[in-house]
Amino acid sequence: MKRTCTIAFNDGHSMKFAFGQQADDSMVGRLVDDALDRNSISFEVEGQLLVFPMANIRSITVAPAPAKLPQSVIQGASMA
């Protein structure tokens, strides 16, 4: 299954990435928590390593959301 990740930066621009499944759904919760503890997020894109400091990121959107999410995620929410 293809997923997309859109990163919105503090300066107003954004970047969108498409990728396949990276881990078994049972591990996604731990991976999300680990990612939030890091100082950067990285992508390998067409043979290049892109590293983005978390301090420069306003938000990260991943779609579709994994079926199994960490306990810290509020589920079933809607935009109001």
What does the mean pLDDT of the chain come to? Answer: 88
> Dihedrals φ, ψ of 48, to 5°?
-115, 145
End-to-end Cα, the chain, rounded Å: 29
pLDDT at 70: 80
pLDDT at 68: 80
pLDDT (average), residues 16-24: 85
Report the candidate in 33, 9, 40, 5 with the shortest Cα–Cα distance to residue 19: 5
Set out the domains of the chain in order of their start, with CATH numbers: 3-63 (2.30.30)
Q: For residues 24 and 39, what is the distance between their CA atoms, to the nearest angstrom?
A: 24
Mean pLDDT of 9-31: 84
Confidence of residue 26 (pLDDT cuts 50, 70, 90): low
Categorize the per-residue pLDDT at 28 as very low, low, confident or very high, splitting at 50, 70 and 90.
low
